[in-house]
Amino acid sequence: MLECYKNFQQLIDNNKNLMITHKEFKDMLDNDDIKVCKFGFNFRKRTVSWKQFEQWQDATYNYDKFK
């Protein structure tokens, strides 16, 4: 997961002025226009609750437990 984080951070750093919607971003990931991490199709279609998102903000959270 750390590698994914680094790749996303690089994407952000290289495109600071890019303005797209969440849907456009997901479509780009789903169509492999953006290759940040290798997630399976079913994994990419999952939704994340706000509580889950907040847990991910915690550096001690074990990302491998998310299924």
In contact, 50 and 36? CB cutoff 8 Å: no
Cα–Cα distance measured from residue 1 to residue 38, given in angstroms and rounded to the nearest whole number: 10
> Mean pLDDT throughout 12-36?
84
Cα–Cα distance measured from residue 55 to residue 62, given in angstroms and rounded to the nearest whole number: 9
Look up the pTM and report it. 0.46
Mean pLDDT of the chain: 76
* Phi/psi at 15 (5° precision): -135, 50
> Where are the chain's structural domains?
2-12+20-60
Query: 46 or 63: whose pLDDT is higher?
Result: 46
> Mean pLDDT throughout 40-67?
68
Q: How many CA atoms lie within 13 A of 23 on its CB side?
A: 0
